[in-house]
Amino acid sequence: MTYGGDHGRQQPAGPRRPSGRPREQQRAQMMPLPGRGQSPYDERTRPLASREQAQRPPAGPPPRRQDPPGAYGDGPQQPPRRRRRWGLGRILLTLVLVFVVFLAGVWVYLEFSINRVDALKDYSGRPAAASGTNWLIVGSDSREGLTAADEDRLSTGDSTAAGGQRTDTIMVAHIPDNDVKPTLLSLPRDSQVKIPGHGTNKINAAFSLGGAPLLVQTVEGATGLHIDHYAEIGFGGFAKIVDAIGGVNMCVEKEMNDTMTGVKIAPGCQDLDGAQSLGFVRMRHSDATPRSDLDRVANQRKFIGALVSQIGSPGTLLNPFDFFPLLSAAPGALTMDSGDHVHNLVGLALAMRGISSGGVVTTTIPVTSGSAENWDKTKSKQLLDALRGDTEVPDSVILN
C-alpha cells in the first residue's frame, strides 16, 4: 500500500531531460510578407545565447572607460560662437555717431570759449524789433594781445597815437524772414551822426566813448533798425583767422600801395596772408582807392565774402591742417553779445556765403559826397525802410 499526498495517488513522472548538452531554444522566425523580402523584425528575433556563451568572459581587454565630453576641459567642447561681422550699415552708423559727437564737442568748445560782452541793452526810445534779423558787425582797431613786433608786422600803427579804441569797419547784416536776398550794409566810419550823450561826431567815435553798448545805441538811432546780434573782431584776431586757413584768395585789379602804412599788394589773383589781408581791408590812401573810405568799405565787403566762402568750403572744413588752427584761432578773435550763441553765428555765416556769387545785396549807405560824412536822407530812408519791411532794396539806392 502506498501513501501519497493526493489520496494515495502517485504523481506521474515528468519527462526525462536528456543528458548531455543543454537544450537550445529554437530560433523564432517570422515569415516575411509577400514582396518585402527580409522582415524588419529579424534583428529583434536573434536566438538567445546559451548558458556557456553567457558565462564565457569576453575576449580581449575590457573597454576603456570614456568620460563624458568636456568633463575635464580637454574633451571636445561646443563650437565657439561665430563673431558677428560688421556690415556696411553698421560701419556707416558708427561713423555718423562719431561725427555727431565730434560736432557736439566743437559746438560746446566754441560756446564757452568765444569772448562775450553786454552789447545789447534796452533803453528808452529803442527801435522796436521788425521783420528779419539784424547783426551789427564791427572790425575794431584793437591791438589787445599784440606785441610790438606784431604791430610792426601788421602795420597797425602806434597804439598810443591811436587816440583810443575805434572801429575801422561798421556793417549791418540784414537776414530777412522771407525769400528776399540778405543785405550787407556798410556805414562809413567818418559818418556824422548823433552819439547819445556826446552830441554829433563821427560814428566810429561812439566805440571809443562808450564801447559796444554805445555804438549799438548810436547805430540804432541813426538807422532806426533794431539790432538783434553783435559780433566784433580786432586786428590781431582778424589776421590770425586768415593765417589759420592758409590765406584768402583775392583778385586785385590794380597795384595797392598805401602811403600811410606802407602796405603794398601786387595786382592779380593771389592768396593774401593775415598781414596783407589786414592792409587790404584798411587801405584808403592809395591810387587804387581814389574814393578813400567808399572804396575801403567796398573792399571790406568783397573780402568778407571771400573769407566766409573759404571758411565754409569743404577744402577748409575737411582739412585738419586748416580746420584745427581755425578752431583754435576763432574763439580768441571773436567777441559776441552775451545773449548770442554759436547757432546764431552759423546762421549769419550761411546767409553771407552768397556775397561772392551775388546772392547777397551789398551796398553802402547813400551819401552826399565822396568824403562819406553826410548821408543822403531820401535814399537812406528808402533803403532802411526796405530793410525794416523785408522788401527788395531798390536799385536806385544801392551804392557800390
DSSP string, 217-246: HHHHHHH-PPP-EEEEE-HHHHHHHHHHTT
- Whether residue 112 is predicted with pLDDT greater than 50 in this model: the reply is yes
Alpha-carbon distance of 373 to 284, in angstroms, equals 15
* Between residues 296 and 25, the one the model is more confident about: 296
- Amino acid identity for residue 314 in this structure: P
Nearest Cα neighbor of 225 from 288, 161, 171 is 171
Q: Radius of gyration over alpha carbons of the chain, in Å? A: 48
Percent over 90 (pLDDT), the chain: 57
Q: Tell how strand 199-202 and strand 192-195 pair up.
A: antiparallel
Q: Please give the residue that has the higher pLDDT: either 347 or 167.
A: 347
Q: Residue 316: what residue type?
A: T
- Helices 274-282 and 293-311 pack at an angle, to 10 degrees, of 140
Q: Quick one: pLDDT band at residue 198, thresholds 50, 70, 90? A: very high
With b for 16 or more beta-carbon neighbours within 10 A and e for fewer, the 104-140 pattern comes to eeeeeebeeebeeeebbeeeeeeeeeeebbbbbbbbb
**pLDDT score, position 5:** 47
Q: Is the pLDDT of residue 119 over 50?
A: yes
356: which residues sit within 8 A by CB, 6+ positions away? 305, 306, 309
How confident is the model over 375-399, as pLDDT tens digits? 999 999 999 999 999 999 999 999 8
Q: What is the mean pLDDT of residues 78-103?
A: 80
Q: pLDDT confidence of 2, banded at 50, 70, 90?
A: very low
Q: Does pLDDT of 352 surpass 70?
A: yes
Model pTM score: 0.74
Rounded to the nearest 5°, which phi and psi values hold at 57? Answer: -65, 150
Q: What is the mean pLDDT of residues 95-114?
A: 91
Using an 8 Å Cβ cutoff, are 277 and 239 in contact? Answer: yes
When pLDDT is averaged across residues 185-198 and rounded to a whole number, the result is: 95
* Residue 155: closest CA among 170, 143, 164: 143
**Whole-angstrom distance, CA of residue 379 vs CA of residue 348:** 26
Closest CA to 204 of 179, 167, 234: 167
Task: Single out the residue of 368, 384, 355 nearest to residue 184, CA to CA.
Answer: 355
C-alpha to C-alpha distance for 81 and 67, rounded to whole angstroms: 24
Given the C-alpha cell 599788394, which residue does it identify? Answer: 265
What's the confidence (pLDDT) of residue 91?
87
User: What would the mean pLDDT of 186-207 be, rounded to a whole number?
Assistant: 95
Name the residue with higher pLDDT: 52 or 293.
293
DSSP state of 42: T
How is residue 330 written as a grid cell? 576763432
All three cell numbers of 384, joined, read: 532802411
Share of the chain above pLDDT 70, in %: 73
The answer to whether 308 and 352 are in contact (CB under 8 A) is yes
Determine the average pLDDT of the residues in 186-209: 95
d(CA 289, CA 267): 13
**Helices of type H across the chain:** 51-55, 88-113, 148-154, 205-223, 235-244, 274-282, 293-311, 314-317, 320-333, 342-352, 377-388
Task: Report the pLDDT value the prediction gives residue 162, as an integer from 0 to 100.
Answer: 47
Question: Cell match 546762421: residue?
Answer: 347
DSSP E strands, 95-210:
115-117, 133-140, 167-175, 183-186, 192-195, 199-202
Model pLDDT, residue 87: 77
Dmax of the chain from CA atoms?
174
pLDDT of residue 49: 52
pLDDT of the residue at 75: 54
DSSP tally for the chain: helices H, then strands E: 11, 13
Encode pLDDT of 177-190 as tens digits: 999 999 999 999 99
The residue behind cell 527788395 is: 392
At residue 175 the predicted structure's pLDDT band, cuts being 50, 70 and 90, is very high
Read off the pLDDT of residues 235-273 as tens digits, 9 standing for 90 and up. Answer: 888 999 999 999 999 999 999 998 888 889 999 999 999
Q: How many CB atoms lie within 10 A of CB 270?
A: 15
Neighbours of 155 (CB within 10 A): 17
Tens of pLDDT, residues 120-164: 999 999 999 988 999 999 998 765 656 667 666 666 665 444 445
CA distances to 82, 147, 272, 325 from 153, rounded to whole Å, are 65, 10, 14, 20
Residue type, 15: P
What rounded mean pLDDT belongs to the chain? 82
Whole-number Å distance between alpha carbons of 70 and 283: 87
Do 300 and 284 meet the contact criterion of CB atoms below 8 Å apart? no
Q: Would you state the pLDDT for residue 348? A: 94
